[in-house]
Amino acid sequence: MQVYNSHEEYSYNMFTYTSSEAKRLWKRTIKEQWNYECAYCGSEEQLTIDHVTPQSKGGTDFSINAVCCCRSCNQSKGHIPLEEWYKKQSFFSQSKLQKIKEWIAGNTAKPQLYTYGKRTNKVI
């Protein structure tokens, strides 16, 4: 399945009927794209979604900024910039860092303007 830019797009394109279903589908699709492995350490346990550029630092909630991540890495990284945090980890891998950068660069679909309920999304 195609990775859409946000969970709202799953509802808009009628893959789901509720926003909670759309969020689950969006997260599952991102995890599938990463083969259900943490993008940083490769763990397959307690997987979550990490915002590569933290939202507190201006990162978006679009898939171009989200990777599959284990809970341990996600909590450890917090709001620290990716390279600053990742290069200090014992499991640092230049090839994994490159894969993350390619994900961000290669996932260039622009967010679509659409109306969901009474709200209209903002195009960045």
Q: Which of 28-37, 61-70, 90-99, 108-117 has the least mean pLDDT? A: 108-117
Question: What's the pLDDT at 11?
Answer: 58
> Which are the contacts of 1, defined by CB distance < 8 A and separation ≥ 6?
29, 32
Q: Contact, 63 vs 33, CB < 8 A?
A: no
pLDDT at residue 18 is higher than 50: yes
Continuous segment of H or E residues that includes residue 68: strand 66-70
pTM, two decimals, is: 0.73
pLDDT at residue 123 is higher than 50: no
Question: What's the pLDDT at 62?
Answer: 84
Q: Tens digit of pLDDT for each residue in 57-106? A: 888 888 889 999 999 999 999 999 999 999 999 999 999 999 999 998 87
Secondary structure class of 66 (helix, strand, coil): strand
Identify the CA nearest to 50 among candidates 76, 84, 74, 79.
Answer: 74
Buried b (16+ CB within 10 A) or exposed e, 16-54: beeeeebbebbbebbbebbeebbbbbebeeebbbbbbbb
CA dist 112 → 6, 9, 115 (Å): 10, 8, 10
Q: What angle do CA 10, 14, 19 make, to 5 degrees?
A: 50
C-alpha span between 32 and 58 (Å, rounded): 26
pLDDT at residue 6 is higher than 70: no
pLDDT at residue 7 is higher than 70: no
